[in-house]
Amino acid sequence: MNKKIKDTIIDFQVNGGKKLHGTITTNFSKNGSVGLLCASLLNKGTTTLHGIAHIEEVNRVIEILKSIGVKIIWKDKNTVIITPPKKFNIENINIESSIKTRSIVMLIGPLIHNISSFSLPHAQGCNLGKRTIAAHIYAFEKFGVKIKTESQNYKINVKKLKKAEIVMYEAGDTACENILTAAALIEGKTTIFFASANYMVQEICFFLETLGVKIEGIGTSTLIVHGIKEINKNIEYWNSEDPIESMMFISACIVTDSKLTITRSPIDFLSLELEKLKRMNLKFKISKRYYSYNGRTKLADIEIFPSKLKALQDKIHANPYPGINMDNLPFFVPIAIRAKGQTMIHDWVYENRAIYFTELNRLGANVTLADPHRVYIQGGTPLKAAQVVCPPALRPSMVILISMLAAPGISILRNVYMINRGYEEIAERLNSIGADIKILK
């Protein structure tokens, strides 16, 4: 019997209108953390992962892995040691934790090498409208894996696994990670066309190479995986930093009209975002590039200066990498509130997320919903304090919090679990650079 997770309601009290200042370091990647935890199941040896984010999303994944027999020890704040069982007890899977995270679906790729038939609960996570796993299902069919969607579960049946040529139904990040971990232990050459080249996918590629799997085309839309028969080695690997967190701090700095330096920013995954901001008249400096602890991801320090922004004439929208990251797109909403003129933001990926941006109107913004995917933002409106309940989505919740930083007076953000899913000690870290946030329990 699985222990029920107790949800503690936590609120943030934000005393807004204060300037940010100093230097803040980008934390390790949320999406890299959960992907690496799932991918570690491929290794029969002991995997030591450094740079694992200490956040609620990671806690849920670890609860799931422990429930099926994986031994996981936190060595220190951001290091975990993972030892797989001789046999996975999938029937004991923690349902409570599973339904709280969409990451559950990424267990399919590793587990098909150990279990011929199993079920996983439906993937959830953020409430962002209809989110299918069609890209996963169609790709796994090429390997000889059947996935059937039932009322509460995905039923997975494995025939004889075979190498394949796969055209991804969409360039989804989790789907590509799932297929990479599946291909890693299928002997021979698997080619993945229309693959995601996003940061978390590259992280999995770097990790698989550490395990001895050769991968060609990393960072492109075509990946060639040279699968091997078995992985059984004791390894250590470093997860890299989170470009979405870097972008969050950039947005917080801009909306509060502050001067701030964000260190250890994964610069390749922020280049287009910074180019758009440059065209909006943002003043900033980028340091000389250097490498993350994994030796592969390029980092830089970004210094942001107070600037008088102007709206772009064309829309701002996300695309698969190297476009604007879909998780970075929401952070352009507070930026557009600062910019003179009207900005149109097109969030075409999710049915519901743009609707949550209108919550900023409670803070005095002028956000008009054109349809479920598009909002018009009239910039230059002063923000004011208010009480807002976090929407059931990570990035829109964070957008509300950083907008409250710019609203003079006392704001209350209710039920911040969604923020804690993806950000480690965010109130304390924002306070360290000049914010005034109290945690209310």
* Co-location of 274 and 318 in the same domain: yes
Q: Is residue 22 part of a domain?
A: yes
* Co-location of 264 and 408 in the same domain: yes
* Co-location of 284 and 181 in the same domain: no
* Confidence (pLDDT) at 126: 54
Separation CA 222–CA 104 (nearest Å): 25
Q: What CATH number has the domain bearing residue 210?
A: 3.65.10.10
* Co-location of 190 and 299 in the same domain: no
Residues paired with 149 in a beta bridge: 154
Q: Which of 105, 85, 88 is nearest to 172 (CA)?
A: 105
* Confidence (pLDDT) at 4: 42
* Confidence (pLDDT) at 5: 43
* Co-location of 212 and 153 in the same domain: yes
Q: Are 430 and 15 in contact (CB under 8 A)?
A: no
Q: Which of 56, 49, 57, 55 is nearest to 75 (CA)?
A: 49
The pLDDT of 250-258, averaged and rounded, is: 98
* Model pLDDT for residues 26-70, shown as the tens digit of each residue: 999 999 999 999 999 999 999 999 999 999 999 999 999 999 999
Query: For the whole model, what pTM was predicted?
Result: 0.95
Residue 336 lies in domain: 11-27+241-440
Of the three residues 222, 238, 254, the one that is the final residue of a domain is 238
* Co-location of 259 and 200 in the same domain: no
Alpha carbon distance, N-terminus to C-terminus of the chain: 29
Could you tell me the maximum CA-CA distance found in the chain, to the nearest angstrom?
Answer: 63
Instruction: Give residues with Cβ within 8 angstroms of 230, minimum separation 6.
Output: 44, 185
Q: Are 151 and 125 in contact (CB under 8 A)?
A: no
Instruction: pLDDT band for 7, please (50, 70, 90 cuts).
Output: low
Q: Is residue 5 part of a domain?
A: no
* Co-location of 188 and 132 in the same domain: yes
Q: Name, of 118-127, 216-225, 346-355, the range with top average pLDDT.
A: 216-225
* Co-location of 323 and 228 in the same domain: no
Computed on alpha carbons and rounded to an integer, the radius of gyration of the chain in Å comes to 21
* Model pLDDT for residues 419-436, shown as the tens digit of each residue: 999 999 999 999 999 999
Instruction: Give residues with Cβ within 8 angstroms of 307, minimum separation 6.
Output: 254, 281, 282, 283
Separation CA 397–CA 357 (nearest Å): 9
* Confidence (pLDDT) at 123: 66
Instruction: Give residues with Cβ within 8 angstroms of 289, minimum separation 6.
Output: 267, 298, 299, 300
Number of structural domains, the chain? 2
Q: Is residue 6 part of a domain?
A: no
Q: Is residue 363 part of a domain?
A: yes
Q: Using the predicted structure, report yes or no on whether residue 166 has a pLDDT greater than 90.
A: yes
At 327 the three-state DSSP class reads coil
Amino acid at 25: T
Q: Is residue 309 part of a domain?
A: yes
Q: Is residue 1 part of a domain?
A: no
Using CA atoms in the order 115, 33, 183, 134, what is the torsion angle rounded to 10 degrees?
80
Instruction: Give residues with Cβ within 8 angstroms of 130, minimum separation 6.
Output: 351
* Confidence (pLDDT) at 315: 97
Q: Using the predicted structure, report yes or no on whether residue 101 has a pLDDT greater than 50.
A: yes
Phi, psi of 16 (to 5 degrees): -90, 180
Separation CA 118–CA 64 (nearest Å): 15
As a whole-number percent, the residues of the chain with pLDDT over 70 amount to: 96
Phi, psi of 150 (to 5 degrees): -105, -175
The burial of 86, by beta-carbon neighbours within 10 Å (0-12 exposed, 13-18 middle, 19 or more buried), is given as exposed
Of the three residues 181, 206, 238, the one that is the final residue of a domain is 238
* Co-location of 57 and 155 in the same domain: yes
Separation CA 22–CA 191 (nearest Å): 46
**String of DSSP letters for 127-171:** --S----HHHHHHHHHHTEEEEE-SSEEEEEE-S----EEE-SS-
Separation CA 252–CA 427 (nearest Å): 13
Q: What is the DSSP letter of 416?
A: T
Phi, psi of 276 (to 5 degrees): -60, -45
* Model pLDDT for residues 280-297, shown as the tens digit of each residue: 999 999 999 999 999 999
* Confidence (pLDDT) at 154: 92
Q: Is residue 54 part of a domain?
A: yes
Of the three residues 238, 256, 282, the one that is the final residue of a domain is 238
* Confidence (pLDDT) at 2: 42
- DSSP E strand stretches across 159-255: 165-167, 188-193, 214-216, 222-227, 235-238
* Co-location of 90 and 18 in the same domain: no
Q: Is residue 270 part of a domain?
A: yes
Residue with tokens 């978390």: 200
As a whole-number percent, the residues of the chain with pLDDT over 90 amount to: 91
* Co-location of 192 and 256 in the same domain: no
* Co-location of 265 and 185 in the same domain: no
Instruction: pLDDT band for 128, please (50, 70, 90 cuts).
Output: very low
